[in-house]
Amino acid sequence: MAPTSGGASGGSRRPRIALLGRYTESASALRYRGVVSSRALLELVWAAGGDPVTLLPATGEGALDWSSRLAGIDGVLLAGGGDLDPRHYGGDHEHESVYDVDAVQDEADLSLTAYCLDSGMPTLAVCRGMHVVNVVRGGTLVVDMPEHHRHTVQDVSLDDEASPLGIESAAVRISCYHHQAIERLGEGMRVVATAEDGTVEAVVVEAPAWTVGVQWHPEDTWTTDPRQRQLMTRFVAESAAER
């Protein structure tokens, strides 16, 4: 689907939303090795009024200087991706289910997340992104869920403290793809939605700026479910308010 015009009009600048790209070894047109962002996620940001900007996940001189790299950026979207190395939270790094671990990706994600949580950068964390937030705040993950939530669509209820998500409903139908989940909740994180099996599906995070995490993928169903777009619209609006 082509991106729509979103919320910007009359020449006003769209809030610029940064995402760290995800490394891939299977992009044949890029000689298999590439740095990518989900097209559906980028289009959702655009449709919600934002202007998505993909950044290179890197280490070394200047790579983790986020005060410089995020100059002109209004919000950060911590996107989904492969597994975070379980070494970062004391998990079993040799478990056969762990996949697509990349040390550079992990270092960049963890560093960027810590910066956002401390600096007052509006942040939306999706799937892996929420896992990274939890680990940065001292929490742990289930390395491999007893029953995976891959290709899973389910209904979850939002509690009374879920208003920061911007979803205008007491329940939401969510599209999930993950085999890991929050185990021990990190400091300053409040659960506002859970699945029937107890999986944490949404959190609100204590931070200087608006910070929310969802376990599901709003980009999967936003074209048919306005509640997913409401989440992104709230994030973009919070980003605009902080600039």
- Could you read off the pLDDT of 200-221 as tens digits, one per residue? 999 999 999 999 999 999 999 9
**Does the active-site annotation cover 148?**
no
Domain 16-242 has CATH 3.30.70.1380: no
Neighbours of 107 (CB within 10 A): 17
* Residue at 6: amino acid letter: G
pLDDT in tens, 76-93: 999 999 999 999 999 999
Residues 6+ apart with CB under 8 A from 156: 171, 172, 174, 193, 194, 195, 201, 202
Check whether 8 has a pLDDT greater than 70. no
Q: What is the rounded distance in angstroms from the CA atom of residue 11 to the CA atom of residue 14?
A: 9
- Angle (nearest 5°) at CA 100 between 221 and 130: 50
Give the contacts of 203 (CB within 8 A, at least 6 positions apart). Answer: 130, 133, 134, 182, 185, 189, 190, 191, 192, 212, 213, 214
The model carries a pTM of 0.94
100-159 pLDDT tens trace: 999 999 999 999 999 999 999 999 999 999 999 999 999 999 999 999 999 999 999 999
Cβ(42)–Cβ(52) below 8 Å: yes
Of 116, 176, 217, 238, the active-site residue reads 217
**What are the sequence ranges of the domains in the chain?**
16-242
**pLDDT per residue as tens digits for the range 163-175:** 999 999 999 999 9
179 in active site: no
pLDDT at 30: 83
133 vs 4, higher pLDDT: 133
Strands 32-36 and 22-27: antiparallel
**Which residue out of 43, 201, 219, 238 is catalytically annotated?**
219
With 50 as the cut, is the pLDDT of residue 2 above it?
no
Q: In this predicted model, what pLDDT tens digit does every residue of 18-61 receive, in sequence order? A: 999 999 888 888 888 899 999 999 999 999 999 999 999 999 99
pLDDT of residue 135: 98
Residue 217 falls in the annotated catalytic set: yes
- Residue 182, burial from CB neighbour count under 10 angstroms (0-12, 13-18, 19+): buried
Confidence band of 243 (pLDDT split at 50, 70, 90): confident
- Percent of all residues in the chain with a pLDDT value above 70, rounded to a whole number: 95
**Reported confidence tier of residue 6, pLDDT bands at 50, 70, 90:** low
Which one of the listed residues 43, 88, 116, 127 is annotated catalytic?
127
